[in-house]
Chains A and B, each alone.
Chain A
């Protein structure tokens, strides 16, 4: 069975600085998809960034980028130029190739200080 582990329950960063959130996963599949979701107090899960396992190039979305290490089964999220609005719970998630099921980690609470 696939698992997703986020080992940092909480992280903090100052505005305009850079922070990296860690995620590791376990799977025996070779094709899969990885996601980072943000959940603010409004509770709605918002997609931050996604990565296809068959792509070696790391995904980037504006201030958000990932470091995808397939052999190490690691998928970290880097947030550059942090903003107060980035404060939220961040969840790493895995989806197998032929399923709609998302497997989430336990989340990392990110605090952003002015």
Chain B
């Protein structure tokens, strides 16, 4: 079975540009979450999407947006890039059953560098 796939693996953008990151979840997983991991820190929650609806949002500015498609894949968009947006962006998929202790499967991330 394919794991969570993210594309691209690396990306270099200039300040002020816009970027789109992509994530394909594990087959059968309907929840996709996005995390930002700045160098030397733990991942920070950005968004959760379940059944194409936003179910959770972290403390990130409106420059960050996301969506989920009917096949449960997801895109994360960041507008007006700042140097501080340089980070590893991780995608995680899950079954999201609030009553169960389910697991998450993470992708290998997209390394975004803003210059």
A45: chain B residues at CB < 8 Å are: 43, 90, 92, 104, 106
Total count of chain B residues near the partner, CB < 8 A? 28
* Number of residue pairs spanning A and B whose beta carbons lie under 8 angstroms apart: 60
> Chain A interface: which of B60-68, B76-84, B93-101?
B93-101
B-facing residues in A25-84 (Cβ within 8 Å):
33, 37, 42-47, 50, 52
Other than A43-B90, A43-B109, A44-B109, give 7 A-B pairs with Cβ distance below 8 A: A44-B107, A46-B106, A47-B104, A97-B98, A99-B56, A102-B104, A107-B42
The chain A residues found within 8 Å of chain B, CB to CB, are 4, 33, 37, 42-47, 50, 52, 91, 93, 97-107
Top 3 nearest A-B pairs by Cβ distance? A104-B42, A45-B106, A44-B108
Offer 30 A-B interface pairs, CB within 8 angstroms, sorted by A.
Answer: A4-B42, A37-B106, A42-B108, A43-B108, A43-B109, A43-B111, A44-B106, A44-B107, A44-B108, A44-B109, A45-B90, A45-B106, A46-B106, A50-B101, A91-B43, A93-B42, A98-B98, A99-B56, A99-B98, A100-B31, A100-B50, A100-B56, A100-B96, A101-B33, A101-B45, A101-B48, A101-B58, A102-B45, A102-B92, A104-B44
